Amino acid sequence: MKKHLFNSIVLAVAVLAGCMSKPTPAPQPKAPPAPQHTGLGYTDTPMLPSGKWHVHDPARPIPPVVTPGATFSDAAPPPSDAIVLFDGQDLSHWLGDKGKPQWRVQDGYMEIVPHSGYIHTREQFGDCQLHLEWAEPAVAAGDSQDRGNSGVFLQGIYEVQILDNYDNPTYADGLCGGLYGQSPPLANACKKPGEWQSYDIVFQTARFGEDHKLIRPASVTVFQNGVLLHHKQALLGPTGWRILANYNKQTPARGPIALQDHGNPVRFRNIWIRNIAEEEAP
C-alpha cells in the first residue's frame, strides 16, 4: 500500500515538473502597422505647427470647388513698369538646370519637355507682383499628384502648386494653388484640362535682423482665375515634399522665379513681373 502511494506521488511530481518545463508559446504576430501612404496623402510625416495635421495629411479638409470667372486676367497685357519674362517668342529670360532650357516654344506658349529639368529666370527678385498663365494637358492622364503636376517657385524656394485638380482629388496641401506641404488654397478654382488659367501673385520676402533672427516670414496673396486662394498667407519656410519647413541662414533675400518640370507637359504663356519697393527692415 505504501509502495503504491509512493509511486503515485512520484508520478504526480513528474507530471507537474513536465508541465512546468514546457516551452513558452511563441508570441502571436502583431497586427500590421497602419499604412503610411495612401493615394491621397501620408500619415508618417511631421506635424505642422498647428498640431492638427501632418504634412500632406490625407485627413485634412479639402477646399470647396468654386467655378471661376471665364476671363479674369487672361491675356492681361503687362503694365508699363513690368518685366516681361515670357512673351511667347523665346526663352531668353530663362536658364535650365543644365544651361540652355530645353522646353518647347511654339504658337505663343512654352511647354514642358518632360524630364528636361526646371527652368528659372536669369534675374533675381524679392517683393513682387507676378502674373502667369498656364494650361494642363487637354487629355487628362494619371491621378492625384500624377496629373498635370508642375509649380511656380518664388525666389526659387517657395512653391505655389500647379496641378490638374478638375475632378481629381489629392491631399489638401498639395492641391492646385496650395503652398506645397504647408497651406491648402481657400478654394479649388481649377478649369477643365486644356483651358488656359491664370495666377496673379503678390509676394513679400522674409525679413531678418542682423543676427539672422526672423522678423517677419515670407507671405503670399494668390488669385487663380480671379478666385482668392491665399491672402497674406505666411510661409513656414522653403517648401518641400514630406518635410517640415523652417527658415535658416541659407534662406536668401532674393531669388529667381522657377517653373517645375514634374514630368507632365504643362504649358505657360504671358508671364510678367513687377518689382515692389521693398520695405526697410525695422
| Residue ranges making up the domain that contains 129 | 40-275
**99 φ/ψ angles, rounded to the nearest 5 degrees:** 110, -115
For position 262, which CATH number holds? 2.60.120.560
Band (39; pLDDT cuts 50, 70, 90):
low
> Is residue 27 assigned to a domain?
no
The domain total for the chain is: 1
> Is residue 165 assigned to a domain?
yes
Task: Report the distance separating Cα 132 and Cα 134, nearest Å.
Answer: 7
Give the CB-side neighbour count of residue 257, counting CA atoms within 13 A.
26
Q: Closest by alpha carbon to 40, among 65, 66, 63, 59?
A: 59
Task: Report the distance separating Cα 191 and Cα 205, nearest Å.
Answer: 30
Condensed to tens digits (0 to 9), the pLDDT of residues 100-122 reads 999 999 999 999 999 999 999 99
> Is residue 8 assigned to a domain?
no
Of residues 2 and 196, more confidently modeled? 196
> Is residue 33 assigned to a domain?
no
pLDDT value of residue 76? 85
> Is residue 218 assigned to a domain?
yes
pLDDT value of residue 38? 52
> Is residue 19 assigned to a domain?
no
pLDDT at 14 over 70: no
Pairing of strands 109-111, 119-121: unpaired
3-state SS record for 74-92: CCCCCCCCCEEEECCCCCC
Per-residue pLDDT averaged across 62-69, rounded?
A: 94
> Is residue 14 assigned to a domain?
no
Task: Report the distance separating Cα 211 and Cα 19, nearest Å.
Answer: 72
> Is residue 35 assigned to a domain?
no
Pairing of strands 104-106, 128-135: unpaired
